[in-house]
Amino acid sequence: MSHTPQRFQVAAALLVALTALPPAYAQSAASSAASRPGTVLSPRDIGSRDFDRREYERSCASCHGASGKGDGVLAGLLIKNPPDLTQLSRTNQGVFPFQRLYQVIEGEGLPVHGTREMPVWGREYRLEDGQYFTDSPTPYDPQALVRSRILSLLEYINRLQVR
C-alpha cells in the first residue's frame, strides 16, 4: 500500500502554511545557503529541511530524544515514558497517524481541567508567536503560523518512522 498521497497532502499543506511564516523563521536557513554563491532556495530548503528538524529539537527532543525513541534527557523525570515516535506508523497498520498526532500536538479537544505531561504546543506556539509579533509591524495570522509549526513537526516525525 502506497502512502504517497498522504505524503503529498502533508507536503502540500506544509508548503501552503509556510507562505504564512514571517521572514524571521526562514532567515537562518536562507543566510546559511546565501553564503554559497549561485544558490537558489526553494520553499522546501527554507521551510522544511532545516525548520522541521529545528522545530523538533526545540519542542520535542528533550523528552522524545533526538532519535525520537523516547530517550530524551527529561524522559526519566516524567511519570509516564514518552512514546517511541519512530514506531507510530508501524503500530498504526503502516499508516502515519497524521490527524491524531496533529490533535495531540495542537491540543484540540482536550479537557479544560486535568493533567497532561506533554505541553499543549498549539497554545504554547500562539503565546510565543504573539510575544514575538507584539511590537512587530509585520502582520501575521496566528492560526496559520501555529499550523505551519505543527505541520513541520509532523513532517519531521514522519521522516523518523521505521520503514
**C-beta separation of 145 from 21 below 8 A:** yes
2-39 pLDDT per residue, tens: 444 454 454 444 444 444 444 444 443 334 433 344 44
Q: Which letter does DSSP use for residue 73 in this model?
A: T
pLDDT band at 110 (very low <50, low <70, confident <90, very high): low
Q: How far apart are CA 163 and CA 54, in angstroms?
A: 23
Average pLDDT estimate for 131-145: 82
List phi, psi (to 5°) of 16: -65, -45
Please give the residue that has the higher pLDDT: either 135 or 22. 135
CA 57 to each of CA 4, 46, 136, 141, 157: distance values in angstroms, whole numbers, following the listed order: 26, 17, 26, 24, 11
| pLDDT at residue 137, as a whole number | 82
Average pLDDT estimate for 122-130: 87
Query: What is the residue range of 38's domain?
Result: 4-160
Can you tell me which residue has the cell 512587530?
Answer: 136
pTM for the predicted model, two decimal places: 0.68
Q: What is the Cα 120 distance to its own chain's centre?
A: 13
Q: Tally the domains of the chain.
A: 1
